Amino acid sequence: MSCHFRIGVGKVKVGQPEIKIGLIPGAGGTQRLPRLVGVQKGVEMMLTGKMMGEEDGLETGLLDMLVDSLDEDSIDQVLSSLPLHSFRSKRTCLLSLKDPISSSISYLSSLSLLGRGRQAHRAIVASVGVGISPQHFETSYQLSNDSNYSFSTSNLTPFQQGLLEEECWFKKLLISSESKALRYLFFARNTAVKPPTRLRSSLDVNVGMVVGGGTMGRGIALSLVNCVGRKGGTVVVVERDEETARKTFGDIKSELDLGIKLGKLSREEAGF
Amino acid sequence: MTLRYVLQVISISNDQEFRDHVLEADIIIEAIPEKLALKQSLFSKIGDILRSKPESDLPIIGSNTSSLDIDSIASFLPTNLQPRFLGKIFPFLQAKFYL
């Protein structure tokens, strides 16, 4: 976001997901995003952590241009269509806000966000400086119908000051137990589905049987393949009738096919 | 590492084939729909087949149930098989990724 232009190549996902681990965007993210997409959208993106595709990125103004691929021809095309004459005015920190919004605080509270990364929510609002004090945001549910609490973009913190504020909040959050817990959860979840090595079975199993070839049954059959496969063993899946048995056989084969495609399994290993 | 295995999908309606495989298996995992009556009929059937097998050679039997009472399911097996019965929920994602 600190670049003058952002060009999306092919399929792109953009967003600020830091809230999901109880942090706020760092390195000026809280300050640049609202200047690119507007305060309302920017705060929303940071509070939800939701990612958007390239089309939405273009529409919100986060991306300046989309190209299918980047080769010599398309680079020329990109360069010729960018407004390079206004290079300086495209510096994100110098951008003026596009949305002179006067949304009330009810907008933010309507996002139903409190609960996850609670401290980070407050930190984002405070560092962007949208005119709601952290204390107000804290109680925004109660205040959501109170029209006195409105914020306007004139309250946006000046860029340099915003950077300092962001850094200060970021450091506070980094050592908060809330963010530590969310980070732990994040990595634990990732580790759980990506074991570093293959499961080694201590069971002496040559023939494994699964009764029922539904989603679970097929998954279990695959783990049995992993378990007995080293010894040239057999995996038997039992289905309720011949027709289902044929279909299930095909389904398991396609799962193995996917394993090959993902490079987790060689063709020989899959027994093809 | 090379995996060499035989994958077979059979129908339970083929009595002889089912019987042979049950007698051969080292581990049998049940993953049929969560209906107690269905599980009862399956485990009784497996229990009957295994009646002739020597104690030392019995397979491990597991149920993948997530919502039914595991003790009720175990009670469908003959007493000699009950100590070899496990409630085993497989983390499916993991099963796939381990591949």
- Residue A224 with chain B: CB contacts under 8 Å: 27, 29
Contacts of B59 (CB under 8 A, 6+ apart): A209, B22, B25, B26, B27, B28, B50, B84
Q: Which of A155, A189, A223 is the last residue of a domain?
A: A189
Task: For chain B, give the DSSP string.
Answer: -----EEEEEETT-HHHHHHHHHH-SEEEE---S-HHHHHHHHHHHHHHHTTS-GGGPPEEEE--SSS-HHHHHTTS-TTTGGGEEE----HHHHHHT-
A246 Cβ under 8 Å from any chain B Cβ: yes
Q: What is the mean pLDDT of residues B65-75?
A: 85
How high is the pLDDT of residue A87?
65
For A78-98, the pLDDT digits (tens) are 888 877 776 666 778 877 765
How high is the pLDDT of residue A108?
54
How high is the pLDDT of residue A209?
93
- Residue A194 with chain B: CB contacts under 8 Å: 97
A182, A262: one domain: no
Band of pLDDT at residue B23, cut at 50, 70 and 90: very high
Q: Which residues of A242-270 are buried (b: 16+ CB within 10 A; e: fewer)?
A: eebbeebbebbeebbeebbeeebbeeebb
C-beta separation of A225 from A235 below 8 A: yes
pLDDT reading at B88 higher than 60? yes
Q: Say how far apart CA B26 and CA B36 lie, in whole Å.
A: 24
DSSP β-ladder status, A207-211 and A234-239: parallel
Choose the closest CB to B21 out of A209, A231, A232.
A209
pTM of the full structure: 0.51
How high is the pLDDT of residue A243?
92
A252, A146: one domain: no
One-letter amino acid for residue A128 of the chain:
V
A83, A163: one domain: yes
A161 Cβ under 8 Å from any chain B Cβ: no
Does residue A199 form part of some domain? no
Choose the closest CB to A212 out of B3, B31, B96.
B31
- Residue A242 with chain B: CB contacts under 8 Å: 11, 13-14
A133, A256: one domain: no
For B29-63, the pLDDT digits (tens) are 999 999 999 999 999 999 999 988 888 888 989 99
A216 Cβ under 8 Å from any chain B Cβ: yes
A129, A244: one domain: no
Q: Domain residue spans in chain B? A: 19-97
Contacts of A36 (CB under 8 A, 6+ apart): A1, A42, A60, A61, A62, A92, A95
A239, A111: one domain: no
Across the interface, whether the CB atoms of A236 and B21 are under 8 A apart is answered yes
Number of domains in chain A: 2
Q: Say how far apart CA A259 and CA B90 lie, in whole Å.
A: 19
How high is the pLDDT of residue B98?
40
A158, A264: one domain: no
Domain spanning B19-97, CATH class: alpha beta
Q: Which of A157, A189, A221 is the last residue of a domain?
A: A189
How high is the pLDDT of residue A147?
43
Across the interface, whether the CB atoms of A246 and B9 are under 8 A apart is answered yes
Interface test with A, best of B17, B29, B49, B56 (most A CBs within 10 A): B29
A232, A118: one domain: no
Q: Which residues of A30-54 are buried (b: 16+ CB within 10 A; e: fewer)?
A: bbbbbbbbbbbbbbbbbbbbeebeb
Q: Say how far apart CA A49 and CA A178 lie, in whole Å.
A: 16
pLDDT reading at B99 higher than 50? no
Task: For A202-217, give the DSSP string.
Answer: -S--SEEEEE--SHHH
**Between A and B, how many residue pairs show a Cβ–Cβ distance under 8 A?**
173
Interface predicted TM-score (ipTM) over 0.85? yes
A182, A239: one domain: no
Sign of torsion over alpha carbons B38, B39, B41, B42: positive
B27 Cβ under 8 Å from any chain A Cβ: yes
Burial (0-12, 13-18, 19+ Cβ within 10 Å), A158: exposed
Interface test with B, best of A191, A236, A260, A261 (most B CBs within 10 A): A236
Residue A66 belongs to what H/E stretch?
Answer: strand A65-67
A203 Cβ under 8 Å from any chain B Cβ: yes
A172, A54: one domain: yes
How high is the pLDDT of residue B89?
63
Angle, CA A242 vertex, CA A237 and CA A245 arms, to 5°? 35
A178, A69: one domain: yes
- Residue A189 with chain B: CB contacts under 8 Å: none
Q: A125 to each of A45, A180, B92, how far by Cα in Å?
A: 12, 21, 40
Owning domain of residue A91? 7-189
Name the stretches of chain A with pLDDT < 70. Answer: 86-89, 97-118, 129-156, 193-203, 230, 262-272
A221, A162: one domain: no
Across the interface, whether the CB atoms of B7 and A248 are under 8 A apart is answered no
For A11-57, the pLDDT digits (tens) are 999 999 888 888 888 898 888 888 888 777 887 788 778 899 999 99
Give phi and psi for A76, each to the nearest 5: -60, -45
CATH of the domain at A98: 3.90.226.10
One-letter amino acid for residue A13 of the chain:
K
- Residue B95 with chain A: CB contacts under 8 Å: 219-220, 222-223
Give phi and psi for A220, each to the nearest 5: -65, -40
Does residue A11 form part of some domain? yes
How high is the pLDDT of residue B43?
93
DSSP state letter for A11: S
How high is the pLDDT of residue A185?
87
